[in-house]
């Protein structure tokens, strides 16, 4: 579920977005190859318009918990358009909760507050995960207990579901859940371009940062 937003756009057409998600970049590159130039220009104009609208909406809220909550509500609304698809994501199929999830600084504040308010997490596991580099081979061990998100309950349910990060909300598949933890499994993700533009807007806000959940949460806990 890693998004790995780069510091600079990888595609010239997206220079109006400081940190587009990789999926947004991929979509734009694919559409550029498919569409006549006028239609591609119209698509870019549409993306910019939506990006500006999302940015303006997010800026109505102060950084931190309030802006994270607004982002989550907006993300649920955008992702809701695919609710009629045969999505296979269910409570208990938690393969995607064993990857290095990325969160915004605002979301780190939300999760930090939950822990400070008494939610018990495995601090040892959090520290071990926070010490890893993104390229650490440990993250590639699909379904490994050492990779479990510290908010994942024993029954495979997210224990902070209402406050889960935006990336968790938009990560949906239509393939068998078992494929999510099968090396080389043919996972069929569902991409919602509006969700990608929204996350790009959230991470492109001035002062916004995005990073691994373990690293961001540990840092927030240390600062608090």
Q: Which residues would be at the binding site for ligand SF4 (CB under 6 A)?
A: 97, 101, 149, 151-152, 158, 160, 164-165, 168
Residue 190's H or E segment, with its range, is strand 189-190
* CB nearer to ligand SF4: pick between 16 and 161: 161
C-alpha–C-alpha distance, residues 132 and 184, integer Å: 23
Nearest distance, CB of residue 60 and ligand SF4, angstroms = 25
Instruction: Please list, in sequence order, all residues whose beta carbon lies within 8 angstroms of the beta carbon of residue 163, skipping any fewer than 6 positions away.
Output: 72, 110, 111, 114
**106 phi and psi angles, rounded to 5 deg:** -60, -45
* CB nearer to ligand SF4: pick between 53 and 90: 90
Nearest distance, CB of residue 95 and ligand SF4, angstroms = 10
* CB nearer to ligand SF4: pick between 50 and 179: 179
Nearest distance, CB of residue 200 and ligand SF4, angstroms = 19
Nearest distance, CB of residue 83 and ligand SF4, angstroms = 17
Residue 194's H or E segment, with its range, is helix 193-204
Instruction: Please list, in sequence order, all residues whose beta carbon lies within 8 angstroms of the beta carbon of residue 40, skipping any fewer than 6 positions away.
Output: 13, 31, 32
Which token pair is 124? Answer: 């040892």
Nearest distance, CB of residue 110 and ligand SF4, angstroms = 10
Distance from CA of residue 99 to its chain's centroid? 11
Which token pair is 9? Answer: 């756009």
* CB nearer to ligand SF4: pick between 20 and 165: 165
Distance from CA of residue 132 to its chain's centroid? 19
* CB nearer to ligand SF4: pick between 9 and 214: 214
């Amino acid at each position: 579920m890693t998004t790995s937003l780069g510091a600079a756009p990888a595609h010239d057409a997206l220079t109006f977005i400081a940190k587009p998600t990789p999926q947004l970049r991929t979509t734009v590159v694919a559409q550029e190859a498919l569409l006549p130039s006028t239609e591609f220009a119209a698509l870019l104009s549409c993306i910019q318009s939506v990006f500006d609208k999302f940015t303006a909406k997010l800026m109505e809220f102060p950084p931190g918990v309030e802006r994270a909550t607004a982002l989550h509500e907006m993300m649920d609304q955008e992702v809701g358009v695919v609710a009629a698809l045969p999505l296979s994501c269910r409570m208990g199929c938690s393969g995607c909760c064993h990857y290095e999830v990325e969160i915004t600084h605002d979301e780190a504040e939300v999760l930090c507050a939950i822990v400070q308010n008494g939610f018990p997490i495995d601090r040892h596991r959090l520290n071990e995960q926070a010490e890893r580099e993104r390229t650490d081979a440990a993250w590639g061990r699909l379904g490994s207990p050492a990779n479990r998100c510290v908010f994942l309950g024993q029954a495979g349910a997210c224990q902070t579901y209402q406050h889960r990060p935006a990336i968790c909300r938009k990560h949906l598949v239509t393939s068998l859940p078992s494929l999510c933890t099968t090396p080389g499994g043919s996972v069929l993700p569902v991409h919602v371009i509006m969700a990608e533009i929204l996350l790009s807007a959230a991470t492109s806000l001035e002062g916004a940062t995005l990073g691994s959940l373990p690293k961001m949460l540990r840092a927030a806990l240390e600062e608090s």
